[in-house]
Amino acid sequence: MQKFRNLTILVLAAAGVAACSPATPEAAPSPSSTLAQAPSTASAAPSSGPARPATCGADFLAKLSVREKIGQLLMVGVKDAADARRAVQQGAGGVFIGSWTDRSVFSGGTLQSVAKAGKVPAMVSVDEEGGRVSRIPGANLVSARELAATMTVAQARAEGARVGKLMKSMGITVDFAPDADVSAQPDDSVIGDRSYSNDPAVVVKYSQAFAAGLRDGGVYPVFKHFPGHGSSSGDSHRGGVSVPPLSALKQKDLVPFRAAVEAGDAGMMVGHLTVPGLTEPGLPTSLSPATMRLLRDGAGYGAKPFDGPIFTDDLSGMKAVTDRFTVPQAVAKSLEAGADVALWISTDQLGAAVDAVEASVKSGKLSRARLDDSVLRVARAKHAVRC
């Protein structure tokens, strides 16, 4: 993945990370097990993405056990500073600041301290899109649709920079924005005014400008919801969601994501969608190997290969996932499919999720080589590894 110019730490976590903002979670017990245990064994498989020198990141990887590596691929929503610090100390690679999180975390250097609480600096994330999906005190950011209708592309970049600088000052390093969905839905629908436009060309211009502004401000952007949620049949919080077939997505919905891959220096979030001609039976895109291959290889929709980090949408608050899988099962399946970071909205089941992924590594469903590839993608995004 290309270097992110101004970012020094990355932190992930997301509140309306998916098609709309999840409800506030119940208080959750602490994880049942710690992450730093002896390495397990598993068969190796060829790694994905562009080839790098064999020594790239080797020293970094050598310092981590298998369970610590797994922890780096997990991002959890947190209730308050203590909850966030505990998760990072237990090995979580990222925390997500949601609508339910105590607002005191935004002041007094709290999040900067949280990010440094673990063996590896953690990602701290939010989903500051503007409009109805806004988490940052004082952001005062309009919705994507209003921004595109009332501002020039240059002004959109300036807005991204303004909000990015504000987030960075609070210790946030990752924003699950911009929303690159192409949609004509009514403003208050699942995507609605979160989309810049129903015209792919407009979405390309404004999403790229806003992402560039976030980078200018020192925050890492993550485009969502691959491969396109704008023409969805419903809300993935409430159940399975279908979108047009892949052949149709290539002509419209995938255009902004193709441009985002070309521009580089950003992550991608995969939604929970059923795509005829792409997803396997019973698997939403977030758990679909075919979807991850489409994004990683690029050739299936005319894009360059993508070697940045792939994030899942929330795996715990979406019935499109939870109707069939527990959180630990979904976390393991998403990483097996090819995601790099599995996200859910509480610290509950952190230990159980590590156990599930470790079992996947031991069985060979997730190879050591694939595990290391993902750890290094995340580490490069954090600038913990610089090759």
Where would I find the beta strands (DSSP E) of 236-327?
A: 267-270, 310-312
Would you call 313 a catalytic residue per the annotation?
A: yes
Handedness of CA 321, 368, 56, 293 (dihedral sign): negative
User: How far is the C-alpha of 309 from the C-alpha of 265, rounded, in Å?
Assistant: 10
Which among 83, 179, 181, 237 is annotated as catalytic? 237
**Cβ count within 10 A of residue 28:** 18
Burial pattern 35-55, b for ≥16 Cβ within 10 A else e, equals beeeeeebeeeebbbeeeeee
Task: Verify whether residue 237 is a known catalytic residue.
Answer: yes
For residues 221 and 213, give the distance between their C-alpha atoms in angstroms, rounded to a whole number. Answer: 9
Q: 182 is written with which tokens?
A: 């192409």
Catalytic member of 179, 235, 253, 313:
313
DSSP string, 113-182: HHHTSSSSPPEEEE---BTTB--STT--PPPHHHHHHHS-HHHHHHHHHHHHHHHHHTT--EE---B---
Distance (Å, rounded) from C-alpha 261 to C-alpha 193?
Answer: 23
Catalytic positions, written as ranges: 237, 313
